[in-house]
Structure 1
Amino acid sequence: MTSTQSTPDRNDARPSIGELVSTLSEKLSQLIRDEIRLAKAEMTEKAKHAAIGGGLFAGAAFLGFFAFATLIATAVLGLANAVPAWLAALIVTVILLVVAGVMVAVGKRSLDQGSPPMPERAQASIKADVEALKEGLTS
């Protein structure tokens, strides 16, 4: 009884470098596609939650507006117990206009501080860097 024992060829047992690179490229491409697919699914889920949250905030703001209007009406009715109703409404209106005017003034000052919306310090820094590079190249 003789058995023929064949030794596997080294080239048959191990893939070549080209095959390894090809396999690595395919696996890397698949991994990237899977990661992109996962990121898309995650972003879709987050966007859905953000949309629901935004809608709920909008609904709360809508109801809050009417609650504030009712509070103003309550102030007019309460003041109408001390003065005529037309005078109570006028007093509350003037107070609201004064508060609105103060808010406009403070808001305008805040907007003026933010104008222009250009990053002036960053622009100056970039210009200084460009000048330094120009000087370095010409030296």
Structure 2
Amino acid sequence: MTDQMIRPTESPSTGELVRRLSEDVSRLVRGELRLAKAEMTQKGKRAGRGAGLFGGAGAMALYGGAALVAAAILALALVLPGWASALVIGVLLLIVAAVLGVFGKGQVSRATPPTPGRAIHGIKTDLDAATPHKSYR
């Protein structure tokens, strides 16, 4: 019989166990990073396709709206001259645009400055409460 068959197998040293653990953790982290990269690539492709479809939907909605405007002009042209019906519909559209613009500007004004004011105030309050104050005599 050989020496190895007689002797029981030796347990790995602590240094060997630490080395194996380090290699396994590194391999695990690299695998997780590869998985995350593949997942983000797949999600990015889906998001790109979705954005393209949204863009196409927006373009079709614009054409549909233009067709409805043309239909409104033609319908009004039954009682007014063509140029007058186009003028009336155009003015109505500009009024709607102005109203939407005013409301939109108000919303943007309320959103500026783009800092979370209440959250900042809350953090300052928390810091003041957590910081020990020196008593002045």
TM-score (norm 1): 0.86
Code of the aligned partner of 2:106: R
SS of 1:103's equivalent in the other structure is helix
Give unpaired runs (5+ residues) of structure 2: none
Amino-acid identity (%): 45
TM-score (norm 2): 0.87
CA deviation map 1:18-70 (0-9, x unaligned) = 11111011001000000000110111011111111111111111121111111
Give unpaired runs (5+ residues) of structure 1: none
Q: State how far apart, in whole Å, the 2-side matches of 1:7 and 1:29 are.
A: 33
Alignment of 1:115 onto 2:120: no
Query: 1:49 pairs with 37, 46, 50, which one?
Result: 46
Q: State how far apart, in whole Å, the 2-side matches of 1:113 and 1:45 are.
A: 37
CA deviation map 1:1-31 (0-9, x unaligned) = xxx98332xxx52111111111011001000
| Matched ranges for 1:1-139 at <5 A | 6-8=6-8, 12-134=9-131, 136=132, 138=134
SS of 1:81's equivalent in the other structure is coil
